[in-house]
Amino acid sequence: MLAASATTLPLFAALSACAGPDPLAGPPPLSADVRSLLRAVTAEQNLIWIYKRTMASYSALAPSLGVLLAEHQAHVAHLRARIVEPPGKSVPDTVTSKPAVPGTPATALAQLRAAEQSASTAQLRRLAGASPSLAQLYASIAASEATHVTALTALGSQNPG
Amino acid sequence: MHENQGQGPQALAALQAALAAEHAAVYGYGIAGALLTGDNRAKALADWQSHQEARDTLEAMIIKLGATPVAASPAYELPFTVSGAGSARRLAAALEDGVTQAYLGVVAVTDTTLRTFGALAMQPPANRAAAWRGSTAAFPGMPSGTIPA
pLDDT in tens, B51-106: 999 999 999 999 999 999 999 999 999 999 999 999 999 999 999 999 999 999 99
Percent of chain A with pLDDT over 70: 83
> Looking at CA atoms only, how far is residue A106 from chain B in angstroms?
21
Chain B environment of A144 (Cβ under 8 Å): 126, 136-140
Compute and round to an integer the Cα radius of gyration of chain B.
16
Please say whether the beta carbons of A52 and A69 come within 8 A.
Answer: yes
CB atoms within 10 A of CB B123: 23
The pLDDT score that the predictor gives to residue A18 is 57
Q: What are the pLDDT digits (tens) for A11-42?
A: 444 555 556 667 677 777 778 888 999 999 99
Please say whether the beta carbons of B23 and B70 come within 8 A.
Answer: yes
CATH class of B9-135: mainly alpha
Please say whether the beta carbons of B123 and B148 come within 8 A.
Answer: no
CATH architecture of the domain covering A30-158: Up-down Bundle (1.20)
Distance in angstroms (rounded) separating the CA atoms of residues B111 and A100: 40
B147:A150 CB<8 A: no
B137:A138 CB<8 A: no
- At residue A54 the predicted structure's pLDDT band, cuts being 50, 70 and 90, is very high
Q: What are the pLDDT digits (tens) for B106-131?
A: 999 999 999 999 999 999 999 999 99
Q: Pick the residue of A80, A84, A147 with the most B CBs within 10 A to test the interface with B by mutation.
A: A147
